[in-house]
Amino acid sequence: PVTVYPDQHAASKAVAGRIAALIKRKQQNNEPTVLGLATGATPVGVYNELVRLHKAGELSFKNVITFNLDEYYPMKPDAAQSYVTFMNENLFNHIDIDRANVHIPDGTVALENIPAFCVDYESKITALGGLDMQILGIGRTGHIGFNEPGSAPNSGTRLVTLDDLTRSDAARDFGGKANVPTKAITMGIGTIFKAREIILMAWSQKKAGIIKKAVEGEISGDVPATYLQLSDHVDFILDEAAASDLT
């Protein structure tokens, strides 16, 4: 289903509320919550709200286990543009999560060890019983995670080559496109699909065109997000501007 909110603030609050409710429900049963997390501009409001709930004493992350979708490759964890730095600054530094429960693809793994690293990342998720919830943004190429056009619906965690448009969109963060890595390690479409709930968020007019394709377009590897149409547990959460091209 598609839900449209008046603005991204209201939408982010609603998504954070769903995450908080899931964590609390699991805590009551003494079960950990396994969350799939995204980076980028889109989920920042959700993370701000989760931090607010934590600081207000309403939410603990003590038994939350997280797996991030992706990381640039190569990338040092302490680099300003790493997704490790992003997650620390936007969420992990401000909550009570056990750092041992945080997983982000490692941008420093030697090239020859990446396949083994990726198999291990998948196994860790599976061993925990799978992702309870995966949150997603969407790139203008139609990527989810860094699954660019051409990605297979059953793809797993792997090393990928970033699309030219994705690197252009990241240029500002890196002080020029030439500095944007050409590769990344990402969970696959198949990995994302196995999550028990999937929430794809998109804000602003800039995303309206790709949202129309993702929600209403023909299902195709040319727009990887269209594969989500095949899932019965996906929610597209949009602001009015991102929804403005929908029929």
User: Which one from 49, 71, 122, 148 is the annotated catalytic residue?
Assistant: 148
Of 64 and 69, which has the nearer Cβ to ligand F6R?
69
To ligand F6R, the closest distance from the beta carbon of 137 in angstroms equals: 2
Q: CA–CA separation, 241 vs 50, rounded Å? A: 24
Q: 105: cis peptide before it, omega within 30°?
A: no
- 62/76 with CB nearer ligand F6R: 76
Tell me if 188 contacts ligand F6R by CB under 6 A: no
Q: Is 143 in the site for ligand F6R (CB under 6 A)?
A: yes
The count of chain residues that interact with ligand F6R, using the rule CB under 6 A, is 14
Residue 86 is inside which H or E element, if any? helix 83-90
CB of 80 to ligand F6R, least distance (A): 16
* Min CB(57)–ligand F6R separation in Å: 29
In angstroms, the CA 215 to CA 130 distance is: 25
Residue whose CB is less far from ligand F6R, 70 or 122: 70
Is 240 noted as a catalytic residue in this protein?
A: no
Work out the number of other CB atoms within 10 angstroms of the CB of residue 244. Answer: 16
* Nearer to ligand F6R (CB atom), residue 27 or residue 209: 209
Contact between residue 33 and residue 22 where contact means Cβ atoms under 8 Å apart: yes
Q: How far apart are CA 54 and CA 103, in angstroms?
A: 20
Q: Does 69 bind ligand F6R (CB under 6 A)?
A: yes
- Report the residue number, 63 or 81, with the smaller CB distance to ligand F6R: 81
Residue 94 vs 206, nearer CB to ligand F6R: 206
Is residue 70 part of the contact set for ligand F6R (CB under 6 A)? yes
Instruction: Assess 144 for contact with ligand F6R (CB under 6 A).
Output: yes
Q: Which residue's entry shows tokens 């950990």? A: 32
Strands 70-73 and 183-186: antiparallel
Q: Which of 139, 142, 188, 224 touches ligand F6R (CB under 6 A)?
A: 139
Q: Is 106 in the site for ligand F6R (CB under 6 A)?
A: no
> Please, what sign has the CA dihedral across residues 145, 150, 152, 158?
negative
Determine if 42 is a binding residue for ligand F6R (CB under 6 A).
yes
Rounded-to-integer distance, Cα 132 and Cα 46, Å: 17
Nearest residue to the partner ligand F6R, using Cβ: 137
Residue 145 in contact with ligand F6R, rule: CB under 6 A: yes
**40 contributes a contact to ligand F6R by CB under 6 A:** yes
Question: What gap in Å lies between CA 221 and CA 242, rounded to an integer?
Answer: 22
Strand 198-202 versus strand 102-103 pairing type: unpaired
From residue 120, give the alpha-carbon distance in Å to each of 35, 106, 133, 143: 17, 12, 20, 23
Catalytic positions, written as ranges = 148
Which residues of this protein are in contact with ligand F6R, per CB under 6 A?
38-42, 69-70, 137-139, 143-146
